[in-house]
Amino acid sequence: MKKFFLLLISFFLISCNGQERKAVKQNNQPKMEKNNLEQITFGGGCFWCVESCFNMLKGVESAVSGYSGGHKNYPTYEEVCTGETGHAEVVQITYDPKIISYEQLMDVFFFLHDPTQLNRQGNDIGTQYRSVIYYKDDAEKAKAEEAIKVSQESGRWTGTYVTELTKFDKFWPAEQYHQGYYNENPTQPYCSAVVGPKIQKFKKHFGELGMLNEE
């Protein structure tokens, strides 16, 4: 009977300790302020990878795949893929600048794609895959220009950056099946061959910097 009570007490202490650790872990997550959120929209190739990575960052409320920069209202994925609508595949980020800065978001953006490739990313070729930052005003344009300069001078990519800077007009959310596409389809051939390795590289680098949400 004594052994039974000792085992019971040990189990209780271990359980409580585990719950305490869990609570501490949850409390480490930064709390975003809804009235303090800002948005930024940019394109860096296929939006499946870009969206998935930004949704892992502390301070990012949402990353939504969509289309910007074209001349047709309510474009479809099939239309954008032809290159005839002028849209780029983009991701619109809603974030709390008190937790993650514009400069940090830009650092992630330039980490995830090659800004020296014109109208392509690897084997994805077309104007819809162009490197582009959409700015809302002159102040944001200046910050984007500085971010491009800082990244180019860092030597991360060899060559001249061709990232386009364009005044933001409209953002059209992509079809629902594109949202969270990689998480739902990790074994899809393109995801496993292209997106997956990029995400793992991203998680290692920014995880070591402490910028990722705890899983």
What is the DSSP annotation of the chain? -HHHHHHHHHHHHHHHHHHHHHHHHHHTSPPPPGGG-EEEEEEES-HHHHHHHHTTBTTEEEEEEEEES-SSSS--HHHHHHT-S--EEEEEEEE-TTTS-HHHHHHHHHHHS-TTSTTEETTEESGGG-EEEEESSHHHHHHHHHHHHHHHHHTSSSS----EEEE----EEPPGGGTTHHHH-TTSHHIIIIIHHHHHHHHHHHHHTT-BPP-
Quote the CA–CA distance of 87 and 23 in Å, as a whole number: 45
In a domain, 55, yes or no: yes
In a domain, 84, yes or no: yes
SS3 of 138-183: the string is HHHHHHHHHHHHHHHHHCCCCCCCCCEEEECCCCEECCHHHCCHHH
Q: What is the pLDDT of residue 12?
A: 41
Structure tokens given for 33: 């302020």
In a domain, 7, yes or no: no
Beta bridge partners of 131: 44
Catalytic choice (16, 46, 53, 81): 46
Is 46 an annotated catalytic residue?
Answer: yes
In a domain, 18, yes or no: no
In a domain, 162, yes or no: yes
Per-10-residue mean pLDDT of the chain, 215 residues long, equals 41 45 51 90 97 98 98 98 98 98 98 98 97 98 98 96 98 98 96 96 97 91
Q: What is the pLDDT of residue 202?
A: 97
The vertex-33 CA angle with 100 and 167, nearest 5°, equals 60
Quote the CA–CA distance of 212 and 54 in Å, as a whole number: 9
Q: What is the pLDDT of residue 16?
A: 46
In a domain, 31, yes or no: no
User: Regarding beta strands 88-95 and 38-44, do their DSSP bridges make them parallel or antiparallel, or are they unpaired?
Assistant: antiparallel
**Domain with 135 in it: what CATH number?**
3.30.1060.10
pTM for the model stands at: 0.85
In a domain, 156, yes or no: yes
Q: What is the pLDDT of residue 29?
A: 66
Number of domains in the chain: 1
Domain that residue 49 falls in: 38-209
In a domain, 124, yes or no: yes
